Amino acid sequence: MELEPYSTARDEFQGGDISIWLDANESPYPNGVNRYPDPHQKKLKERVAALTGVAAESVFIGGAGSDEAIDIIFRIFCTPGKDNAVAIAPSYGVYKVAAAVNDVSMREVLLNEDFSLPVERLLSAADSHTKVIWICSPNNPTGNAFPKEEIIEIARKFNGIVVVDEAYADFSGKETLLGEIGKVKNLIVLRTFSKAWGMAGLRAGMAFADPEIIEYFGRVKYPYNMSSMVQEELMRHIEKGTGGHIPEIISERDKMAAELANASCVEKVYPSDANFLLVKVSDADALYDYLIINGVIVRNRSRMPLCADTLRITVGTPDENLRTVSLIKNFYE
Ligand SMILES: *Cc1c(COP(=O)(O)O)cnc(C)c1O
Of 271, 212, 247, 216, whose CA–CA distance to 78 is shortest? 216
Ligand 1 in reach of 140 Cβ (< 6 A): yes
The tens digit of pLDDT for each residue in 202-214 reads: 999 999 999 999 9
Span 137-155, average pLDDT: 98
pLDDT at 217 over 90: yes
pLDDT at 47 over 70: yes
- The pLDDT of residue 329 is 97
Residue nearest to atom 15 of ligand 1 (CA): 140
Ligand 1 in reach of 136 Cβ (< 6 A): yes
pLDDT at 1 over 70: no
Crossing angle (nearest 10°) for helices 246-261 and 318-330 = 10
Ligand 1 in reach of 205 Cβ (< 6 A): yes
Closest ligand 1 atom to residue 194 Cα is 9
Please provide residue 201's backbone torsions phi and psi, each rounded to the nearest 5 degrees.
-70, -20
Of 57, 24, 36, whose CA–CA distance to 222 is shortest? 36
Question: What average pLDDT is seen over the chain?
Answer: 95
Ligand 1 in reach of 91 Cβ (< 6 A): no
Of 161, 191, 182, whose CA–CA distance to 60 is shortest? 191
Span 50-68, average pLDDT: 95
What is the percent of the chain where pLDDT is above 70? 98
Span 281-309, average pLDDT: 98
- The pLDDT of residue 8 is 82
pLDDT at 2 over 70: no
Ligand 1 in reach of 93 Cβ (< 6 A): no
Count, in order, helices (H) and strands (E) of the chain.
11, 11
168 Cα to the center of ligand 1, angstroms:
8
Q: Structure pTM?
A: 0.95
pLDDT at 333 over 90: no
Strand-pairing partners, residue 1, are none
Ligand 1 in reach of 192 Cβ (< 6 A): yes
The tens digit of pLDDT for each residue in 261-278 reads: 999 999 999 999 999 999
- My answer on whether omega of the bond before 138 falls inside 30° of 0, hence cis, is yes
- The pLDDT of residue 250 is 97
Which residue type does 20 have? I
The band of 127, judged by pLDDT with boundaries at 50, 70 and 90, is: very high
CA distance 223 to 236: 23
What is the percent of the chain where pLDDT is above 90? 91
The tens digit of pLDDT for each residue in 224-237 reads: 999 999 999 999 99
Ligand 1 in reach of 197 Cβ (< 6 A): no
